[in-house]
Structure 1
Amino acid sequence: MPPSATDRGFEALPGVALPDPAADPEAWLAGGVKNLAGLRSAGSFLLVLAVLAVFAAWVPAFLGTANLGLILAQSSVLGILGLGLTLVLITGGTDVVAGGIDLSLAGTLGLSAAVFAGLNQAGVGDAACVAAALGTGLAVGLVNAVAVLRLRIPPLLATLASMNICAGLELVITENTTISAASPLIDGLGGTGPLDVPVLGYLLLAVAFLFAASLRLTPLGPRAYAVGAHPEAARAAGLSMSRYRAGSYLASGLSGGLAGIASVAFLNSATGGSADMLLPVVATAFLGVVFSRRLVPTVTGTLLAALFVGSLTNGFQLLHVSTYWVNGIEGALILAVVGATAASAKGHAA
């Protein structure tokens, strides 16, 4: 009697039955890969729960209502930036050199926040401040799109240059000082909403819902994934590669502008040092891939990753751990995720 799937080392997940390898080898192999992906995803969630449990055991206040609200508010800025980067990864692929990457998001955040706070301090109304901040983000996205798609500059270099330009302009506006801001809009965004959940948390969920609906309920989603994952097939199908990729950079820029507004609302000011957000943003977007069963960038995965990174940062702050260690851990997470994704891609290719 031929050995069964279980005998050959594949243990099916609950509710998933693997076909017999002798009867249908291709279906058996596909089922095994699906189960491994499920185990990887489940392992990611277990890791998150384990980390949260450790923080809760060491610092009882970690799971307190006030601290959970703080984590959600802190994660909102990071999550909005991560969602913008996710769109770029979807349309450009996860090859950060030749594919899609936007390293300018942290700089866009800082510049948009400086523009918003500077105009607010000058007495400009909320509507004009919001328009200026979003317009700033859109302008950065346009510069990135032109540099990458028209001038053919590698995305890694083009967006890194944009980040430095934004950081320089931010210093020009702020003069390396803190610009305080106050208005009804800032008070509203910085407050709490229903169920005592921070309004910034609702803002993050609204942005995530908008992105998810666009990718799932409209033709934009399948086409965007096709452009990034299967460019030759997408080109053969008549899809405009440059249009979708340019759109992702514009959306990413808008995300940076919106995150700048959220940052001002959270801090009641615009401060320097926005470049420090670069590593957490990249970590969030690439960690989001791990939370996907198919190991692809998704809105849900990025949202969960933002909450995880936010919880990680908050937990270390409560434990009075140096931020240098936090940065090192985030860097290690990026290295692990990119390595695992590359290994998985090679496995599929083989």
Structure 2
Amino acid sequence: MTTQILNAAILGASGYTGAETIRLLTHHANVRVGAITANAQAGRSLGDLFPHLHPFADRTLVKAEDVNWDGVDVAFGCLPHGASEELLGELPAHVKVIDLSADFRFRDPDAYAKVYGRSHLHPEKTRNGVYGLTEFARAELAKKPDIIACPGCYPTATLLAIKPLVEAGVVSPRDIIVDAKSGVSGAGRGLKEGNLFCEAAEGLHAYSVGNHRHAPEIEQELSHAAGSPVLVNFTPHLVPMTRGELVTCHVKLANGATVEDVRATLEQRYEGERFIKLAAKGASPDTRWVRGSNLCILAVFPDRIPGRVIVVGVIDNLVKGSGGQAIQNMNVAFGLPESQGLTMEPLFP
């Protein structure tokens, strides 16, 4: 058992992502949570914002500019898009960055600018960052990169479901359709009319139809896996629940491949994985199966249309789709047991 203790700073702790990262780190034997920032809430205690975080309730939130970076080993960036690159790109060289925003996910700075409507402030850093889909990035993570870009929640679920299939060539990289559904926490904690209870409850709607910014991120990774450009028809939906995410991926079988080949490919790729599981044949995953955990559960179904297959995946958007995967990446990068701090079972009911 390693006795290494990391000093971690949490940047942007007033949102759901920051709070969930702190919650998960309370279970981590090798991490000490140091500075906790929230610029707009500086001076308040963390307990004022999140009473459930009892171990840190009396910790005072500070502005990022007031953090003493001496002795800090790792910084978790839980900041909005745009704010991350401004701050994280200029931290001292000894601080390893694990960013949960989109600011360092694109290898091509021009692609980032096209999707997010702003030029990247640190193009060399986004080119050299590691895209932290943990199960596919261990070799790069083990080199302890300066910046680890955690995937978005939708890309995490989608890529875990179909990236192995594209890599193995058992499905076509063309005509990929992803129907995605997420709980309201995926939209963040900021006050938005559409997130109010009376607006979100008892209804279901698609949003960012045809232009969601996670689609190019998914395409980047699938194109890399396929060795050629891949386009994805991606449509997200807001579901009136707090947390959880489900993706239904409709893909075309490669010539000669079968549904059994698809399931076998996923079984082989994820054999021995602590956090990726395949549901029993015929079982359809439910977001409740992973609530509060770092698990991803997948299932494979034949389509009634010949030559096609359906892959379903569920994650908790705040854990495997956010803080949990960030901690998993940290564990690999610093040579800690990969599941350290993440072995909690799902909450049910």
Q: Output the TM-score relative to the length of structure 1.
A: 0.22
Q: Output the TM-score relative to the length of structure 2.
A: 0.22
Compare CA radii of gyration and give the structure with the larger one. Answer: 1
Q: Greater strand share, 1 or 2? A: 2
Which one has more relative contact order, counting CA pairs under 8 Å at least 6 apart? 1
